[in-house]
Amino acid sequence: MSICDTCGNDYDKAFTVTRHDGRTATFDSVECAAAQLAPQCLHCGCRILGHGIETDDGIFCCAHCARKDTNADVNDRYPVPAGA
């Protein structure tokens, strides 16, 4: 069995992820993997599990957070709904 690098659980169905820099990490769940590997929004701190919104200043979970911290002209969808 393998030990999860996030929570320490000894689990027979753990999996190993190889990072882009060649280092490996072992996890017992996708949740534990996300807790260590997923980037955090620079505004609200939530884990970004999708593409997020990238600006010159960094990565954000959504356009709202990007607009709060930067002057980026970004939107979550196109066309922008009236009143957004």
Q: What is the pLDDT along the chain (84 residues), one digit of tens a residue?
A: 899 999 999 999 999 999 989 999 999 999 999 999 999 999 999 999 999 999 999 999 999 999 999 989 888 877 766 765
What pLDDT score was predicted for residue 62? 94
Domain ranges of the chain: 2-37, 39-84
Q: Could you give the CA distance from residue 72 to residue 66 in angstroms, rounded to a whole number?
A: 7
What pLDDT score was predicted for residue 81? 66
The pLDDT mean for the chain works out to: 92
Residues 6+ apart with CB under 8 A from 20: none
Tell me if 48 sits within 8 A of 63, measured CB to CB. no
